[in-house]
Amino acid sequence: MSMIDTHPAVQRTPWGTGTPPDSVAPAKRRILETAIRLFYNDGIRSVGIDRLISESSVTKATFYKHYGSKDRLIVQYISQRHSLAQGIVDEIIRQHSDPRAALRGLIDQIVADVMSPGFRGCAFINAATEFTDPRHAVRQIVSEHREWYAETLSTLLNQLGHPLPGDGGDELVLARDGVMTGGYAGDPIAATTAFVRVADRVMDRSIR
């Protein structure tokens, strides 16, 4: 198996949050959007280059021109998922000046994701299960994503007056892991209901 290039330049999407903008070459944009759909729905390793090329409606030469290898596309995929998550979280926080309301908005977003059609679990947990080496570029991005998310939650809990915001942030991240996994593998209604109970208990320990 070829290793993904771990140089920082290929670990970050050049497009920022969301999907690639219109300024990106249409074929390059189409390849990444196809990868986002196929890698999430069917698994990263199970999707071959020929399928990516076919469903992106590009030639093999075009694929290699823009990405060079499937490995580089995988890194762009997981980076793009991180950027998209950051954009969603930042927008929810921006819409709520009160930290409790912002946390509630994030919880509601997680519940909505789990209950949405086509939900296949957490893209980052799914990717981590496919790349077992913690030094791998994919695992590094997954770790950074989780650290960012826990820090974001801890910051909001600190603003809310939680006595142990770091611990609370970790608890919410683990609760999110549970609802993402349980919501996909089991009953999403039971999973989201339990998740909200846990989140409420964490926030209720705050002093304001």
Whether residue 74 lies inside any domain: the answer is yes
**Domain total in the chain:** 2
For residue range 160-204, list pLDDT tens digits in order: 999 999 999 999 999 999 999 999 999 999 999 999 999 999 999
Clarify whether residues 122 and 192 are in a common domain. yes
Residue 8 lies in a domain: no
Q: Is 45 part of a structural domain of the chain?
A: yes
Residue 174, domain member (yes or no): yes
Decide if 13 contacts 83 (C-beta within 8 A): yes
Q: Based on the fold, state whether residues 102 and 153 are members of the same structural domain.
A: yes
Whether 6 maps to a domain, the answer reads: no
- What integer pLDDT is reported at residue 207 of this predicted model? 73
What is the span of the domain harbouring residue 54?
13-81
pLDDT digits (tens, 9 = 90+) for 107-146: 999 999 999 999 999 999 999 999 999 999 999 999 999 9
Q: What is the DSSP string of 78-95?
A: HHHHHHHHHHHHHHHHHH
Where a domain ends, among 32, 50, 81? 81
Q: Is 101 in the same domain as 77?
A: no
CB under 8 Å to 197, separation ≥6 — which residues? Answer: none
Distance separating alpha carbons of residues 97 and 63, to the nearest angstrom: 44
Least confident of 21-25, 74-78, 148-152, 204-208: 21-25
Are 65 and 104 within one domain? no
Res. 18: pLDDT tops 50: no
pLDDT for residue 21: 52
Predicted TM-score (pTM) of the model is 0.85
48, burial (CB in 10 Å: exposed 0-12, middle 13-18, buried 19+): exposed
Q: Where residue 162 sits, what CATH number does that domain have?
A: 1.10.357.10
Please identify, among 33, 49, 81, the residue that sits at the C-terminal boundary of a domain.
81
Predicted pLDDT of residue 3: 33
Q: What is the model's pLDDT at position 206? A: 79
